Structure 1
Amino acid sequence: MVDLIPVGQAVPAPDGTPLAARGNHQDWLLSWHPPGERPEGRAHGASGVCVAGADLVLVSHHGGHFGPPGGRPEGDETDLETLCRELREEACVRVTAAGLLGFSRSECVAGPELGLVLVRSFWRAEVLVDPWEPRFEVPHRRIVPAAAALDEVWDYADGSVRIMARVLAEARLA
């Protein structure tokens, strides 16, 4: 099992450099790509750094590892449509403005999905926070000062945390 660490302890991922990660009992290479350089691969959804004034909205599936909400597309949704729906479902927020930060590319290099390439978009989303009424797969929400993002957002101590450090840097939270 890989340990979790605060994103603030990680060096942000550089453009296009493969970084090793492990997930779902498989080995992956992750890389960061700027907004104008969407990499090839299967659309794997959208995630958003949710900014509500001076606060950041984070979610968790199990109450310990908090990060930005997001999810996979339904039907022929665009990345922006996926973002708005997923943020509403997972974090009970409404997107008022969103800017694309970039893309993460994940290539499975060992395991049952060998060769699979997934691409996720990351956004900075200005949001309005609605009452917390969890109805989907995310039972925990936390609202923290945006200035504390580097200490509040944790990720796995591999390439994943470097991608998240880049996301927060691009969102101007790092």
Structure 2
Amino acid sequence: MPQPNPLGRTAPATDGAPLAARGNGQDWLVSWHPPGERPAGRAHGANGVCLAGAELVLISHDGVHFGLPGGRPEGDETDLETLCREMREEACVRVAEARLLGHVRSECVAGHELGLVLVRSFWCAEVLVGDWRPAHEVGHRRIVPAAAARDEVREYSDGSARIVARALTEAGLT
């Protein structure tokens, strides 16, 4: 498995531009949409740029790939309810305030979910950091200077990296 690179100078996604991404053995086209332009598709959860003052909270399943916490909705949760629950479960933080940054539309173009369209919300959340007590699938948490976000977030160099770069830009972490 290749070592992931930090986002560094990865160009942020532009509004509506389709970007190739690969996940779970499938090919996807992903695109960024501003807050007032929620695209059609099945609600697929929320991710948070979690800020505790001047620090950024990141999570990892493997201790190598660090990224933004997030997850899928349960029941009839709203995007904001999903964000708050997932931040608590994955990162052991409590959301004090949240601002919607935008939405990501993902369309499966090759694989067993061909044609499926998912929509995920991205938020900037001011959080209160709790004790690290991982109880779900996430095994690692890092709290880093927010100013170093692009050096600390590690994604593969496909469309998903450009989406995360856009979320960090929208959150003011350029």
The TM-score normalised by the length of structure 2 is 0.98
SS at match of 1:8: coil
Distance in 2, matches of 1:34 and 1:98, equals 15
Which ranges of structure 1 fall in alignment gaps of 5 or more residues?
Answer: none
Query: Cα offset for 1:103?
Result: 0.5
Q: 1:4, 1:154 within 8 Å by CA — same for their partners in 2?
A: yes
Q: 1:57, 1:142 within 8 Å by CA — same for their partners in 2?
A: yes
Which ranges of structure 2 fall in alignment gaps of 5 or more residues?
Answer: none
SS at match of 2:8: helix
Q: Superposed, which structure 2 residues align to 1:21-32 within 5 Å?
A: 21-32=21-32
Q: 1:3, 1:157 within 8 Å by CA — same for their partners in 2?
A: no
Q: 1:115 maps to what in 2?
A: 115
One-letter identity of the residue aligned with 2:85? R
Q: 1:60, 1:139 within 8 Å by CA — same for their partners in 2?
A: yes
SS at match of 2:162: helix
Query: Cα offset for 1:8?
Result: 2.1
Q: Figure out how many residues of one structure are paired with residues of the other and give that number.
A: 174
One-letter identity of the residue aligned with 1:57? V
SS at match of 1:32: strand
Distance in 1, matches of 2:37 and 2:69, equals 23
CA RMSD between the two structures:
1.0
Query: Could you tell me the percent identity over the aligned residues?
Result: 75
1:144 maps onto 2:168 in alignment: no
Q: 1:68 maps to what in 2?
A: 68
Runs of 4+ in 1 over 3 A off after TM superposition: none
Change (3 A) 1:165 1:65: same
Could you give the per-residue CA deviations for residues 106-152 of structure 1, whole angstroms, max 9, x where no partner exists?
Answer: 10001111000010000000000001000111010000000110100
Query: Cα offset for 1:3?
Result: 5.9
Distance in 1, matches of 2:2 and 2:13, equals 18
Q: 1:99 maps to what in 2?
A: 99
1:42 maps onto 2:42 in alignment: yes
